């Protein structure tokens, strides 16, 4: 009987020791798990922040009212990295027209300039007209060239970013006047600029070529 009791006691002791060993070995480290989860969440937030900060700013409306006509390169020293210089703006700058330059177009009797704010409720219908000039026979306009009656600098509401696009159009035959109201909303602007292709006798082909540049400004 003593041998049987001793055997039972030994077996029980071994079972208890085994159970205790499993508990100590298999118990999950909750502190370690919690730290790992927090680190993963932080990493995801950091990644999202980087993605948001590197998102490119759109500086072109994607609308071209003279698409299909010959095109030439138009540049401006007042446009850098898709952003217009503050000096050309109405509220924060000097309200002067931007510098423009382009190569001569063969056969052009004159060049005309339009500057339009492309901002609107649906981002398609054009907004305010900021510049219109005709009778231009040179291919470089210095900063501040336009008169105050022909030019009104960008002035978007505070915190808003608007897209301002400039067209320079080379015409075979001069036009007497340019349609559109500076400082006014011009929903018919697409028609106004496309009608430049019709000469005084009603024939198409008056537009020889055009240049277009686009940039943003934030109020």
**Contact in structure between 36 and 42 (CB atoms under 8 Å):** no
Q: Which two tokens stand for residue 114?
A: 């339009």
Residue with tokens 């990644």: 47
Residue 38 falls in which region: left (phi positive, over 0), alpha (psi -120 to 50) or beta = alpha
What is the tens place of the pLDDT at every residue in 122-162? 544 567 999 999 999 999 999 999 999 999 999 999 999 99
Please give the backbone phi and psi of residue 182, each rounded to the nearest 5 degrees, phi first.
-65, 140
Residue 67 falls in which region: left (phi positive, over 0), alpha (psi -120 to 50) or beta = beta
Residue with tokens 């027209």: 97
Q: Find the helix or strand (DSSP H, E) in which 84 lies.
A: strand 83-84
Helices (H) and strands (E) in the chain, counts: 3, 9
- Identify the bridge partners of residue 181 per DSSP, sorted by sequence position: none
- Identify the bridge partners of residue 100 per DSSP, sorted by sequence position: 141
What's the pTM? 0.73
**Contact in structure between 156 and 119 (CB atoms under 8 Å):** yes
Q: How many residues does the chain have?
A: 219
The tens place of each residue's pLDDT in the chain, 219 residues long, gives 444 444 434 344 444 344 444 333 343 343 333 333 333 343 444 434 433 444 556 889 899 999 999 999 999 999 999 999 999 999 999 999 999 999 999 999 999 999 999 986 454 456 799 999 999 999 999 999 999 999 999 999 999 999 999 999 999 999 999 999 999 888 899 999 999 999 999 999 999 999 999 999 999
């Amino acid at each position: 009987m003593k041998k049987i009791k001793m055997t039972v006691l030994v077996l029980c002791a071994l079972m208890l020791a085994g159970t205790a060993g499993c508990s100590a070995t298999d118990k999950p480290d909750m502190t370690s798990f919690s730290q790992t989860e927090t680190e993963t969440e932080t990493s995801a937030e950091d990644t999202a922040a980087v993605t948001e900060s590197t998102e490119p700013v759109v500086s072109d409306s994607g609308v071209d009212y003279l698409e299909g006509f010959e095109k030439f390169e138009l540049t401006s020293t007042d446009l850098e990295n898709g952003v217009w210089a503050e000096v050309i703006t109405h509220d924060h700058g000097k309200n002067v027209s931007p510098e423009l330059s382009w190569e001569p177009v063969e056969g052009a009797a004159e060049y005309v300039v339009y500057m339009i704010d492309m901002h609107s409720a649906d981002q398609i219908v054009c907004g305010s007209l900021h510049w219109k000039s005709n009778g231009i026979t040179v291919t470089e306009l210095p900063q501040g060239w336009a008169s105050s009656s022909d030019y009104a600098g960008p002035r978007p509401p505070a915190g808003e970013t608007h897209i301002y696009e400039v067209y320079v159009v080379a015409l075979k035959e001069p036009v007497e006047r340019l349609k559109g109201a500076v400082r006014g909303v011009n929903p018919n602007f697409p028609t106004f600029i496309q009608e430049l292709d019709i000469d005084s006798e009603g024939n198409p082909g008056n537009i020889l070529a055009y240049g277009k540049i686009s940039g943003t400004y934030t109020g």
